[in-house]
Chain A
Amino acid sequence: MPAPDMTAPDPTLPDAAAADAETWRVAPGDDLRWFDGAEEAVLFHSGSGETHLLDGDAAEILQSLEARPGNAADLVARLVPAALAPERAALCGRIEQCLREFRRLGLIEPVPR
């Protein structure tokens, strides 16, 4: 699994501000299969045929989107419900970065408005 170059601009991807507002989902028809460990997980993505090693946080975010679509704020609310307002902004930023990487790998897509 080649690591994506996060520094390269990609016009097809939303910027950080837009990502917060965008609602994401796993592409309908794509099957995600998991091999979970204590701190990491392996993911098989039927859409690309690729296998990825994810850290625990990334796996949790993607599994949440697999369960139902959401944006970064939704994901913070679902995954860290006890987070205080100042923490939420930082968490949103980290989740947005993760969402951009998922998008780059073809694991998620924006929900049509």
Chain B
Amino acid sequence: MSAGIPPAGPDRARAPVRLADLSEAELSRRLRGPGLALPAGPFTVRLTSPLEEIAAGLGLLYGGHPLADGGADDPEGYADFHLRVAPAGGPRRWVRPQVGFFLDGRNPFNLLPAHQAFPMYEWGLNWCIVNLAHQFLIIHAAVVARDGRALLLPGPPGSGKSTLCAALIHRGWRLLSDELALISPADGRLSPLVRPVNLKNESIAIMRAFAPDAVFNRETPDTAKGVVTHMRPPAASIDAAAETARPAWIVFPTFRAGARTALEPVPGPRAFMRLADESFNYGLHGGRGFAAMSRLLRGCMVRDMAFGDLESALAALDGLAREAPAEAAS
């Protein structure tokens, strides 16, 4: 992190002010005071927090992100989500420190142990998007893209989607999101939500070995999901965060130890119902959601993929991506 905000000038006129351009002291001041304006895909977050863990996590993982307000430091600037992660009060804080996540001053969650502050911010932001951003059809899926065409990896926790996503973005794919597919009902395109990739348990060691140059936050043990950490997104994905992508492939991954990697076609109606199950807000959209889901499936190849090892799964996905993507599900 540099010592301060670079001075304005001809060269700075075109370059965005990134979080890494703030000194540690300035980052801490904004977080403790007016708030830090962070981009989160199509959304703007204004985050305040007095916690060192939050400042350290942001500095490590969001350093390449441009500040949403261009570095203006305007506390009245527009934000979609006004968030705060802060220590809980009361006498319990002396015995077992806890933190709370606040949206517009309200705490929608139970408190968590203080060491889980950074994951709590990431999970809390997911919750905000899933519950409030109904301008999108939102599907629980990792999304990566190549040449403007997107691969969706929908699946429940444990299916392997985040591990695959983390590996793919170190093999030439662009990160859109490790968790949430944001589909515009108007044009069917996917909006990037480039944020740190959440990894847990065995996936952490796998990715440390797979991408030794990747940057990881410190591991957080004893969460509801086990041991978790977050991986910094690639700079190229951050720089392309305004570029939407056309859905081209949908792959439902299932990790099974020892399984041979195999891709199998999924009939369109079955895929439709599975995606509706994986959607957070399909039902809210009514006929518009049905139309968006139909369009998504008509434009994508859809496959089930069982896999037992990462390399063969990546090879299978690369092979799929070389096939004509215009084949519709049927």
Chain A interfacial positions (CB closer than 8 Å to B): 31, 33, 35-42, 44, 46, 49, 51, 53
| B269 engages A37 (CB within 8 Å) | yes
Say which residue of B270, B282, B283 sits within 8 Å of A40 (CB atoms): B270
Q: Which residue of B lies closest to A46 (CB)?
A: B287
Q: How far is the CA of A49 from the CA of B290 in the complex (A)?
A: 10
Q: How far is the CA of A33 from the CA of B329 in the complex (A)?
A: 17
Say which residue of A37, A42, A46 sits within 8 Å of B286 (CB atoms): A46
Q: How far is the CA of A100 from the CA of B128 in the complex (A)?
A: 42
- For B297, list chain A residues within 8 Å (CB): 35
- 7 nearest interchain CB pairs? A44-B290, A37-B269, A40-B269, A37-B268, A42-B272, A42-B269, A35-B294
Residue B108 interfacial (CB < 8 Å): no
Majority-rule SS of A interface residues: strand
Q: Known interface pairs A33-B291, A35-B297. Does A49 touch B269 (Cβ–Cβ under 8 Å)? A: no
Q: Which residue of B lies closest to A33 (CB)?
A: B290
- For A39, list chain B residues within 8 Å (CB): 267
| A44 engages B287 (CB within 8 Å) | yes
Q: Which residue of B lies closest to A31 (CB)?
A: B287
Say which residue of B267, B270, B276, B330 sits within 8 Å of A51 (CB atoms): B276
Q: How far is the CA of A72 from the CA of B159 in the complex (A)?
A: 45
| A42 engages B267 (CB within 8 Å) | no
Taking the closest CB of chain B, its distance from the CB of A33, in whole angstroms, is: 6
Q: How far is the CA of A53 from the CA of B287 in the complex (A)?
A: 15
Residue B273 interfacial (CB < 8 Å): yes
- For B276, list chain A residues within 8 Å (CB): 51
| A41 engages B287 (CB within 8 Å) | no
Q: Which residue of B lies closest to A59 (CB)?
A: B269
For B27-62 the 0/1 string (1 means CB < 8 A from A) is 000000000000000000000000000000000000
Q: How far is the CA of A44 from the CA of B286 in the complex (A)?
A: 8
- For A44, list chain B residues within 8 Å (CB): 287, 290
Q: Which residue of A lies closest to B295 (CB)?
A: A35
Q: How far is the CA of A46 from the CA of B289 in the complex (A)?
A: 12
Q: How far is the CA of A46 from the CA of B273 in the complex (A)?
A: 17
For B264-294 the 0/1 string (1 means CB < 8 A from A) is 0001111011001000001100110011011
Q: How far is the CA of A40 from the CA of B268 in the complex (A)?
A: 9
Can you show 6 pairs from A to B with CB atoms below 8 A apart? A33-B290, A35-B272, A37-B268, A39-B267, A44-B287, A49-B286
- For A36, list chain B residues within 8 Å (CB): 268-269
- For B286, list chain A residues within 8 Å (CB): 46, 49
| A49 engages B283 (CB within 8 Å) | yes
- For A51, list chain B residues within 8 Å (CB): 272-273, 276, 282, 290
Q: Output the residue of B268, B276, B291 with the most chain A CB within 10 A.
A: B268
Taking the closest CB of chain A, its distance from the CB of B34, in whole angstroms, is: 43
Q: How far is the CA of A33 from the CA of B288 in the complex (A)?
A: 11
Taking the closest CB of chain A, its distance from the CB of B265, in whole angstroms, is: 11
Taking the closest CB of chain A, its distance from the CB of B289, in whole angstroms, is: 8
| B290 engages A40 (CB within 8 Å) | no
- For B270, list chain A residues within 8 Å (CB): 37, 40, 53
Q: Which residue of A lies closest to B298 (CB)?
A: A35
Q: Known interface pairs A51-B276, A53-B273. Does A38 touch B287 (Cβ–Cβ under 8 Å)? A: no
Q: How far is the CA of A85 from the CA of B269 in the complex (A)?
A: 34
In chain B, positions 308-330 with a C-beta closer than 8 Å to chain A are 329-330
In chain B, positions 69-114 with a C-beta closer than 8 Å to chain A are none
Q: Which residue of B lies closest to A1 (CB)?
A: B273
Given contacts A35-B272, A37-B330, 14 further A-B contacts (CB under 8 A): A35-B269, A35-B293, A37-B329, A38-B330, A40-B269, A42-B269, A42-B273, A44-B287, A46-B286, A49-B286, A51-B272, A51-B282, A53-B270, A53-B272
| B267 engages A40 (CB within 8 Å) | yes
Q: Which residue of A lies closest to B270 (CB)?
A: A40
Q: Which residue of A lies closest to B268 (CB)?
A: A37
Q: How far is the CA of A41 from the CA of B329 in the complex (A)?
A: 12
- For B282, list chain A residues within 8 Å (CB): 51
| A41 engages B269 (CB within 8 Å) | yes
Q: How far is the CA of A36 from the CA of B269 in the complex (A)?
A: 7
- For B283, list chain A residues within 8 Å (CB): 49
